[in-house]
Amino acid sequence: MSKGLPKRSENYSEWYNELVKRAGLAENSAVRGCMVIKPYGFAIWEKMQRALDDMFKATGHQNAYFPLFVPRSFLEKEEEHAEGFAKECAVVTHYRLKADPSGKGLIVDPDSKLEEELIIRPTSEAVIWNAYKNWIQSWRDLPILINQWANVVRWEMRTRIFLRTAEFLWQEGHTAHATEQEAVAETEQMLGVYADFAEKWMAMPVIQGVKTPSERFAGAVETYCIEALMQDGKALQAGTSHFLGQNFARSFDVKFVNKENQLEFAWATSWGVSTRLMGALIMAHSDDNGLVLPPKLAPIQVVIIPIYKTEEDLAKISERIDPVMAELKSLGISVKYDDDDKQRSGWKFAEYELKGVPVRLAVGMRDLENRTIEVARRDTLTKESRPIDGVVEHIRTLLDEIQVAIYDRALQFRNANIFPVDTWDEFKEQIEKGGFISAHWDGTEETEAKIKEETKATIRCIPLNSIEEAGKCVYSGAESAKRVIFARAY
Amino acid sequence: MSKGLPKRSENYSEWYNELVKRAGLAENSAVRGCMVIKPYGFAIWEKMQRALDDMFKATGHQNAYFPLFVPRSFLEKEEEHAEGFAKECAVVTHYRLKADPSGKGLIVDPDSKLEEELIIRPTSEAVIWNAYKNWIQSWRDLPILINQWANVVRWEMRTRIFLRTAEFLWQEGHTAHATEQEAVAETEQMLGVYADFAEKWMAMPVIQGVKTPSERFAGAVETYCIEALMQDGKALQAGTSHFLGQNFARSFDVKFVNKENQLEFAWATSWGVSTRLMGALIMAHSDDNGLVLPPKLAPIQVVIIPIYKTEEDLAKISERIDPVMAELKSLGISVKYDDDDKQRSGWKFAEYELKGVPVRLAVGMRDLENRTIEVARRDTLTKESRPIDGVVEHIRTLLDEIQVAIYDRALQFRNANIFPVDTWDEFKEQIEKGGFISAHWDGTEETEAKIKEETKATIRCIPLNSIEEAGKCVYSGAESAKRVIFARAY
């Protein structure tokens, strides 16, 4: 009962689009490149937010909120930053509409032109460092450890729901420090938080690494990232953490008196993950029947479906189920009892499969007699009949098991799809099949660009844990000291 | 120790501005009319959000997210709505900047002009009803009960931090129903939720009522509101809930097949509260020493300050305090132990007074000997020495007491400032002194406008619980069936 989803093996891209739509996660809006996140999708995002927010606060960060608008002159201040974002940004030029004098409708009132245009934030370094200027005078004011949950806009030409949209939701951490060492430690700490979240909550293994200079965030000294592998063999950058050095402090003139009583520019980091993680979550685990959600992020962890013919039967089943529901809820497990009589149980089974509910319980009249209940797992599509006594304890354990099993499956897949490659022919052959390619690179931007041009593969990252190993660049044959990870990417 | 705050009695407006700044709640940004909400202010807003969100979910609503941009043609569709918002909106006309060919810096790329301008949402009825069109076919699809947490922009000419800003944060509920009756019930239910939140969380009494036609939300059939009274005698609209009839369904052609198998337009409501509530919270309770926060919304409910001279003394105090801290935390009470040695305790006392921390505990060396602790209340500025044994239980009760006491004080103030007025002379005299004026009104827009012109007073609402009582309009002398509430307002 796949509700007619396209198969992954036949058309992965169509499968993804249809799944997002049919599972009620999101849809494209009438506004170009902008999406509507529907309640079921948003409930998953809320769970992600809550978990991340707790992790940010546990590492000493506080939330705040900065303006949506970046004055043009602010964006200009950090040159690389400006260059990186100016080409695709929404520009506010006027502040009023008026009735069209030549007919019906509204037109922009030319008298309302702004003296300086405002850019909808594509990211908030400029606005935030302009504010930090007034917050930072002394080393005593540091560190500043702030995070913001916000919407941002990047006028992407080719958009893809969740993965690349003109407007998206994200969090952006922006910290200021008294020393370079502290700022680097913060950058690395937050990368670790993202990796932890990806692995423990999303059940998605990631490679931690640093970007090559050409793939760095505009304005960063170093960009750290986590890279995940999707089921179609393409890579997805799931989060980034940037060490910004003193670039923004210099552009916005943020100086402080250090412990040695000398004026110094503050050291900065920024780090973010976005609703793109929704796309990653979907593509990492789901199958031809629909979503597969790790229990920790599932809005409904357990669904219970009564199988009955008469109202009387339903009443009997409900009576049996009531204490199970209550017990599950008391353990903090989110459970839904679907006794809606407008749909058949077969339809419901398919629907909750599509929606990725990790555990499905079903109870019919025979179960009442036998004091049993059917327990089905979404991840393995297996089911078994169990005594209803003790089933709550079983489910509690089962949810943990499923969380681990989904991660293990993704890890196995990922590990089976990292290919050490040593020749250019091998490289070209492997890249067509997908996966991460671990290969030597000569460290030049030129080689990186040529490989991209010829194969559409990019260097996803230089892994943090990569071993020093003398070798020859897979493209140029020049000397190389370590392998890097290549892939085609979302 | 007021840290030099202006006095309310001397300059209420300055007092407010300075308090917002010095307590670290928010500041004006470099972007005209937009504010930066600082961590302490945002922590209060987060507590408000959490409480409201729980109440929305408890009444069956789900969160979702809709685009930031409203195409101009969408805004046009509902005529009154368009008229209400077109005059003050941020308009995106281009999607790219480019290097200024005549020198340094960036200019708008004229080649990136949008075919249709996009308005930054001032509210989302238009965008949401355009989406609902595809979601609603049958009565089975109804009701739709959705809320969104978002930023909105209204290009206000005169802004005031939290109270009236160009960009603000809010939640907007948008529901669709099969019958008029259901939609009206929803509108009233959400007004009740807002009143509950204002009274039980913010400790701020409100009058529930409906707006006169001239004060209605642009596009609404009926606007319900909650109105609070600030300490300077001015009214503040703290939340609105709109019955939109079939206006938006008609404009966006949202029809459904009803139970009688006939096509019908859907019935709508929308309701919202914003960061304006932060302004209301501050002005409702605070005093010349700083913020007074109701414990339920205080980011720090209890602060503990050790009074010591040597490191050794501090260690002894900390040892005594540790179990108190642990016990408070285990009860879910947020507590901060401030043993920072860079500030004197006198400075700390003033600082936490300024920040409105409801309960302050202080422990010195004599307290150690006597097994006592000093307990100070922010709302009454009283303090007493108590045995440290049992102090946690005392604080738990005390926090509840303070919550009630703050509400009672605000209620007393509010009730003492509702003035039944029956003559125009009395009206003109009273309005200068402030407060709510309860007076008869002839029901005409003309009289309402003249009263506003002559006194700057508006009809805040027609209270829901107002008693039928024959009388004469305070301005025109014409017949009137009930009193309405007038005031000058924020």
If asked whether residues A139 and A256 sit together in one domain, one would say yes
Span A134-150, average pLDDT: 97
Q: Give CA–CA dist B469/B437, Å, rounded.
A: 16
Q: Is residue A58 part of a domain?
A: yes
Supply the CATH number for residue A439's domain.
3.30.110.30
If asked whether residues A112 and A235 sit together in one domain, one would say yes
CA distance B332 to chain A (A): 16
Q: Provide the β-strand partners of residue A226.
A: A208, A239
Which pLDDT does position B3 carry in this prediction? 58
Q: What is the DSSP string of A69-118?
A: EEEHHHHHHSHHHHHHHHTT--EEEES-EEE-TTSSSEEE-GGGEEEEEE
If asked whether residues B324 and B380 sit together in one domain, one would say yes
Q: Is residue B291 part of a domain?
A: no
If asked whether residues A370 and A278 sit together in one domain, one would say no
SS3 of A374, please?
strand
Supply the CATH number for residue A116's domain.
3.30.930.10
Q: Are β-strands A335-337 and B26-28 bridged in parallel, bridged antiparallel, or unpaired?
A: unpaired
Q: Is residue B45 part of a domain?
A: yes
First to last CA, chain B: 29
Q: Is residue A330 part of a domain?
A: yes
CA distance B99 to chain A (A): 9
Tell me which DSSP letter residue A466 carries.
P
Inter-chain touch A95–B98, beta carbons under 8 Å: no
Inter-chain touch B62–A39, beta carbons under 8 Å: yes
Which pLDDT does position A104 carry in this prediction? 79
Out of B36, B62, B95, closest to residue A90 by CB: B95
Using CB atoms within 10 Å of the CB of residue B313, give its burial: 0 to 12 exposed, 13 to 18 middle, 19+ buried: middle
Q: Collect all residues with Cβ–Cβ distance below 8 Å to A351 and sequence separation of at least 6.
A: A3, A343
Using CB atoms within 10 Å of the CB of residue A161, give its burial: 0 to 12 exposed, 13 to 18 middle, 19+ buried: buried
If asked whether residues B23 and B103 sit together in one domain, one would say yes
Do residues A466 and A481 touch, judged by C-beta distance below 8 A?
no
Is the pLDDT score of A240 beyond 90? Answer: yes
**A-to-B residue pairs, Cβ atoms closer than 8 angstroms:** 195
**Which of the residues in chain B have pLDDT under 70?**
1-3
If asked whether residues A383 and A460 sit together in one domain, one would say no
Domain edge (last residue) among A225, A260, A285: A285
Supply the CATH number for residue B309's domain.
3.40.50.800
Question: Which residues of B fall within a CB distance of 8 Å from A115?
Answer: none
pLDDT in tens, A210-219: 999 999 999 9
Which pLDDT does position A3 carry in this prediction? 57
Q: Collect all residues with Cβ–Cβ distance below 8 Å to A173 and sequence separation of at least 6.
A: A56, A61, A145, A146, A147, A148, A190, A269, A270, A271, A272
Out of B42, B119, B150, closest to residue A65 by CB: B42
Question: Which residues of B fall within a CB distance of 8 Å from A90?
Answer: 69, 92, 94-95, 118
Question: Which residues of A fall within a CB distance of 8 Å from B151?
Answer: 68, 150-151
Out of B37, B68, B120, closest to residue A64 by CB: B37
Inter-chain touch B155–A35, beta carbons under 8 Å: no
Torsion, Cα A11 A17 A23 A25, to 10 degrees, reads 150
Which pLDDT does position A440 carry in this prediction? 97
First to last CA, chain A: 29
- What's the mean pLDDT when you consider all of chain A? 96
If asked whether residues A255 and A305 sit together in one domain, one would say no
Question: B255 to each of B42, B220, B483, how far by Cα in Å?
Answer: 41, 19, 39
Question: Which residues of B fall within a CB distance of 8 Å from A342?
Answer: 140
Q: Give CA–CA dist B441/B461, Å, rounded.
A: 11
Burial call B111-122: b when 16+ CB within 10 Å, e when fewer:
ebebeebbbbbb
pLDDT in tens, A30-73: 998 999 999 999 999 999 999 999 999 999 999 999 999 999 99
A126: nearest CA in chain B? B30
Q: Provide the residue range defining the domain that includes B476.
A: 418-487
Inter-chain touch A167–B90, beta carbons under 8 Å: no
Which pLDDT does position B4 carry in this prediction? 82
Q: Is residue A325 part of a domain?
A: yes
Question: A346 to each of A327, A350, A365, A381, B401, how far by Cα in Å?
Answer: 26, 6, 16, 15, 55
B79: nearest CA in chain A? A105
Which pLDDT does position A1 carry in this prediction? 43
Out of A29, A64, A342, closest to residue B131 by CB: A29
Can you read off the two tokens belonging to residue A330? 């008391």
Which pLDDT does position B213 carry in this prediction? 96
Question: Which residues of B fall within a CB distance of 8 Å from A45?
Answer: 65
Question: Which residues of A fall within a CB distance of 8 Å from B73?
Answer: 105
pLDDT in tens, A281-335: 999 999 999 999 999 999 999 999 999 999 999 999 999 999 999 999 999 999 9
Question: Which residues of A fall within a CB distance of 8 Å from B68?
Answer: 34, 120, 151, 153, 167
Out of A27, A71, A93, closest to residue B108 by CB: A93
Q: Give CA–CA dist B74/B95, Å, rounded.
A: 20
Do residues A230 and A414 touch, judged by C-beta distance below 8 A?
no
Which pLDDT does position A467 carry in this prediction? 85
Q: Collect all residues with Cβ–Cβ distance below 8 Å to A104 and sequence separation of at least 6.
A: B76
Domain edge (last residue) among A285, A314, A335: A285
Can you read off the two tokens belonging to residue B403? 């919550």
Q: Is residue A408 part of a domain?
A: no
Nearest Cα to Cα of residue B205 among B300, B285, B289:
B285
- Per residue, the 3-state secondary structure of A213-271, as one string, reads HHHCCCCCCEEEEEEEECCCCCEEEEEEEEEEECHHHHHCCCEEECCCCCEEECEEEEE
Out of A46, A76, A91, closest to residue B92 by CB: A91
Question: Which residues of B fall within a CB distance of 8 Å from A104?
Answer: 76
Can you read off the two tokens belonging to residue B116? 């249709």
If asked whether residues A346 and A389 sit together in one domain, one would say yes
Q: Provide the β-strand partners of residue B336.
A: B303
Q: Is residue A111 part of a domain?
A: yes
Q: Is residue B4 part of a domain?
A: no
Inter-chain touch A93–B94, beta carbons under 8 Å: yes
Nearest Cα to Cα of residue A57 among B355, B150, B299, B23:
B299
If asked whether residues A47 and A196 sit together in one domain, one would say yes
Domain edge (last residue) among B260, B285, B310: B285
SS3 of A123, please?
coil
Inter-chain touch A46–B67, beta carbons under 8 Å: no
CA distance A419 to chain B (A): 40
Q: Are β-strands A106-108 and A97-99 bridged in parallel, bridged antiparallel, or unpaired?
A: antiparallel
Helix axes B311-330, B391-416, angle to 10 degrees: 70
Span A341-356, average pLDDT: 95
Number of domains in chain A: 3
Q: What is the DSSP string of A143-181?
A: -EEEEEEEEEE---SS-BTTTB-SEEEEEEEEEEESSHH
pLDDT in tens, A241-266: 999 999 999 999 999 999 999 999 99
Nearest Cα to Cα of residue A141 among A58, A256, A246:
A256
If asked whether residues A81 and A27 sit together in one domain, one would say yes
Burial call A70-92: b when 16+ CB within 10 Å, e when fewer:
bbbebbbbbeebbebbbbbbbbb
Question: Which residues of B fall within a CB distance of 8 Å from A112?
Answer: 91
